[in-house]
Amino acid sequence: MWKRLICFVMGMVVCLASDAVPARAADQPSGSAGAALLVETDNGRVLFAKNAQEPRAMASTTKIMTALLALEQPDREITITEEMIRAEGSSMGLRAGDRLSLHELAAGMLSVSGNDAANAAAIAIDGSLSAFAARMNRRAAELGLTQTHFVTPSGLDAEGHETTAADLARLMRFAMENELFASLCGSPQVSVSFEEPEETRTYTNHNKLLTLLEGCIGGKTGYTKHAGRCLVSAAERDGIRLVAVTLSDPDDWNDHMALMEYGFSELELYTEPQTAYSGRLPVTGGSAPFVSVRGEEGEAFPVLQEEAQRVECRVELPPFLYAPVHAGSQIGSLSYWLDGEEKCRMPLYAGQEITVRQDDRSFWEKIASFFGLNL
């Protein structure tokens, strides 16, 4: 349809967003963490940071990567060996000879932080802990975790096993896109089915924020003497999703609740894109003088409260169309911008079929009209 236009001058309407009165934001948290980060997951916007690029030990938050890699594998039955359960610390109670699925091991990692489950999955997938650690590091590189290095699948202390709050937040944002991962780490309790012995065991999630924090949808705890208390959490309210990370934090539960309350108080959802566009365009040489223009509902996006008034809506359409115009053909676009950054874009379509207007005049009438004569 664009090829039929003689004049390709884009008409643009810029409409400023409606006025909004910002609510009073919560005080910016201080906290006791050695490193901390709070991000909005839609675009990774940083809302709070403290030593976020400083490499630190991560303890069992390591299992975010371990569980994710296990869940990305085809599910299959695993027979537990003595080698797999040689792990100190937290455990899901595996014994040699137990049989359960690979994905059930991930459930044990994300609920009770089973070191035995992490080691069992690593050996089942790659044959050894070191080979699996190499897999973890390859995936970290793929995800852009530039300051992360894995040595153990469980997160037990090892030289060189470290990450940053920024990398952990990036990893959690990605992991939460996996529906099974999100379901497991967001469940206060999980039931794990064993083939041998034939039984179902129920595990309670170590993440207290699932019950303490409004809107908490997941997270991962961690602790070693060297790393201190480590915690990653995700929460969602009114369509806005946040991820918080603290490393070496003796008061992590309270600090995460303060971080989340601060973040949600700072943001609001800009919902104007959810209203479908409706308008019309002139048509030359058509069976009707105008064609209706329709748009689809777009996705709302988070903005800081003071940003809402700066959002621009841009309607890009040609000044007119030539017939024929086919219903459903794209004829323009609608976009929303904030400070020069495009936030979302939706196509605009012709809402009806416009055919070429039929000229019923005789040959001589057309000649006369051409010369400006009246017959």
Work out the angle between the directed axes of helices 63-71 and 102-112 (0-180°, nearest 10): 160
Q: CA-CA distances (angstroms) from residue 277 to 12, 295, 332, 346?
A: 14, 5, 11, 9
Handedness of CA 84, 85, 87, 89 (dihedral sign): positive
Contacts for 331 with CB less than 8 Å, ≥ 6 apart: 1, 2, 281, 291, 293, 317, 318, 321, 325, 348, 349, 350
Q: Helices marked H in the chain — which ranges? A: 63-71, 102-112, 115-126, 129-142, 165-175, 179-185, 209-212, 252-266, 363-370
Number of Cβ within 10 Å of residue 221's Cβ equals: 24
Joined together, the tokens standing for residue 346 give: 């939706």
Residue 368 φ then ψ, to 5°: -65, -40
Joined together, the tokens standing for residue 199 give: 């039984």
Positions annotated as catalytic residues are: 60, 63, 113
The alpha carbon of residue 194 and the mean position of all alpha carbons in its chain are separated, in whole angstroms, by 33
The burial class, CB within 10 Å (0-12 / 13-18 / 19+), for 23 is exposed
Q: Is 157 within 8 Å of 58 (Cβ atoms)? A: no
> Comparing C-alpha atoms, which of 331, 325, 322, 318 is closest to residue 353?
325
Specify the DSSP class assigned to residue 97.
T
**Side-chain-side CA neighbours of residue 134 (13 Å):** 7
Q: CA-CA distances (angstroms) from residue 71 to 17, 176, 183, 187, 344?
A: 43, 12, 12, 16, 31
Three-class DSSP category at 268: strand
